[in-house]
């Protein structure tokens, strides 16, 4: 039995679900959400525990766990919208 290939829509859904855990403000999470409006650098208690690092790691793990490929993320990914990053990750 073969697994269904992960799509851009699937990746965006994974990211939206994870972002809801990081949103401390009353931010509506959607495909248009700018990642830097929810995530930050240096907001954790240790070097790798900032929300941007945790989100990236959890997203990469979720993609791999669901049969997707772990691809290189752009350096400026925090300034992407959810749908833009999902598309980028599926095209690289």
**Domain spans, the chain:** 8-25+47-91
Write the pLDDT tens digit of every residue in 37-56. Answer: 999 877 766 666 788 999 99
- Whether 25 shows a pLDDT value over 90: the answer reads no
Residue whose tokens read 């772990």: 70
Write the pLDDT tens digit of every residue in 54-69. Answer: 999 999 999 999 888 8
Report residue 16 as tokens.
């939206």
pTM for the predicted model, two decimal places: 0.86
């Amino acid at each position: 039995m073969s697994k269904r290939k992960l799509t851009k829509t699937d990746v965006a859904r994974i990211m939206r679900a994870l972002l809801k855990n990081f949103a401390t403000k009353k931010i509506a999470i959607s495909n248009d959400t700018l990642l830097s409006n929810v995530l930050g650098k240096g907001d954790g208690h240790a070097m790798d525990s900032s929300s941007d690092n945790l989100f990236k790691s959890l997203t990469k793990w979720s993609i791999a766990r669901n049969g997707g490929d772990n691809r290189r993320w752009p350096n400026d990914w925090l300034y992407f919208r959810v749908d833009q990053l999902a598309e980028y990750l599926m095209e690289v």
